[in-house]
Structure 1
């Protein structure tokens, strides 16, 4: 008697290339194929200009490939129009960036509840309760009603992580999430992201220059000149 089929990977890409057309075309990502499993913490690393963020944006459906296909949660997204992509991102994917991009006029609670309200699966009261629960899980008790300007850099990034988790996504994608933080806050954010895979079975894909951050990952993927290069390692003196 055969066992159940293994689950689909969280993300799978096949022969993905991204080229910016113009008088002189620029290829950002070249013929990349990879898969990222559910519950895996993966760091994408490489020299400046190597295509790390471009690859992350393709994995996170913030950009579309010029060639190749991207599957997320077993769904081939190549035929999605802009509206369907937007809905899919809102429901399945969460994003954390180097600069938190919190709305400055709103409180931490409102910043986290906004994507929940936009998805429309919960009442306003339930959305606020979920936002409060996420903030509390990330150690932000007592800061719910503060605006971003009243929070430290590390606190703002934790609000951004709570916002990324708002709709219980399958995958969190993070672009240099500690690049604007001091060492203590960086360690805290790294540990939070790592624990999302251990405690909540989230898949986390992060672009980073930080070797200490990457040391916590299950897997490191090197990228050079837009291609996967598993032999690449960061310069310890950089």
Structure 2
């Protein structure tokens, strides 16, 4: 039994539990008031934002996207452990990568909560992750921040008559990311074969460490009657 792999899966599971917990019970301290307030929701949290101040939507969105980012990082740092057979030493690429794990989590989270969580990029690998107009604009603004490192961006936006809070956290390319997103000519044969077969229109190559790979986006519906 590969206990290291089991430990990895446990870490991912803990991240998922934290992600779910963050949507069901949250406590924020008001920046202008020392008293904190807490609010526990039901499953349909999209209809239960009454206790949230708009200033705290940014903090809440940040927590959700940070937790997804942490989960992605865990998976990225353990690709060798995931794909290397501990008995034979043979390498078999399984496709259990940050983008795939992140997309599955985001899709399940969106179905559970009604809040749209998504990974996106200006150079997508999976066409279903293509950015909408707002996401494209924010991603381009991240890339044009010369001399500074983009942190996040959020604002109130109207979508089809619905008031929402939209937020995006940038995804930066770290060294482990280059295994799948670096120079295509230098990829492991197993990775190149897998990506070519699964994503024939893949654009997500040629990145360098420190580049912006994309962003994690979330849309939180706001009931106007709650404010």
Larger helix fraction of residues: 2
Give me the TM-score of the superposition, normalised by structure 1: 0.26
- Higher-strand-fraction structure: 1
Structure with higher RCO (Cα < 8 A, 6+ apart): 1
The TM-score, its normalising length taken from structure 2, stands at 0.26
